[in-house]
A = this chain, B = another copy of it.
């Protein structure tokens, strides 16, 4: 079994941002910390830490830190520790969930001291981090659980194709819509984002000819409002703009649903169980078609 004092040294170096500060926290000298890190690396046969300022864990180091957090959580649940240190929950999420419904689900009762380390990943790729053991839970579009993991359906984020009135005017979308929409610029979140492609395929049997890459949920909304392009946005994110007429639904009745899933480890600590119940409850209020 691995020596957890070595993992604690690694955790302290990353948390505190340096070997010296880690030593202060663990009541060890800087060189004792350094020896523990080296010992850990010799056990693993690979580096766990980039010696930058501040030091950054390697992928292998991050997996160890994640494992350490899970162990700490289970110890807390069993009453084995009264370590007052906050538990760190590393959670991968798609950007649009974080920009809309997710934050409300992260507020837990105060007796649960928890720190969230949120990681934004495209919904189609967030699962990779889960597979690598890099995160403790993941919200993404894949219904397939990873090895040792389980999955729970959350419901769907519903997207609608919208543009600003000025944009509709500029590209004269009131007439010859099919032809003109496929020539008008659209916004695309990143290279993995296919929503605009699906929409144009549906309404005009076309692919986007002109697009801007805008990898920010809020930036995407702001750029649509400014008239930089049209795009598919979550209904949840733009209700007030649709009501006020700042944004116009280009194809009323058309929507694209992205089903979302909560991926978690089967060895679920009580804290992660409670978080999952919270997430399920909030998702039930905001997402479409969840039960």
Contact B219 A116 (CB under 8 A): no
Does A104 touch B at the CB level, under 8 Å?
A: yes
Query: In the docked arrangement, what's the CA distance between A104 and B226, Å?
Result: 5
Q: Decide: A225 and B86 in contact? CB cutoff 8 A.
A: no
Q: Are A117 and B212 also in contact (CB < 8 A) when A106-B226, A223-B103, A228-B103 are?
A: yes
Q: Mark A196-222, 1 if CB is under 8 A from B, else 0.
A: 000000000000001111111111011
Q: For the complex formed by this chain, how many copies does it contain in all?
A: 2
Q: What residue in chain B is nearest A225 (Cβ atoms)?
A: B103
A86 to B226, CA, bound (A): 20
**Which residue of chain B lies nearest to A54 when distances are taken between CB atoms in the complex?**
B191
Q: Can you give 20 contacting A-B residue pairs, CB < 8 Å?
A: A86-B210, A95-B216, A95-B219, A103-B214, A104-B222, A106-B212, A106-B228, A107-B226, A115-B185, A115-B211, A116-B212, A116-B228, A118-B214, A119-B215, A120-B215, A120-B216, A216-B217, A217-B218, A218-B218, A218-B221
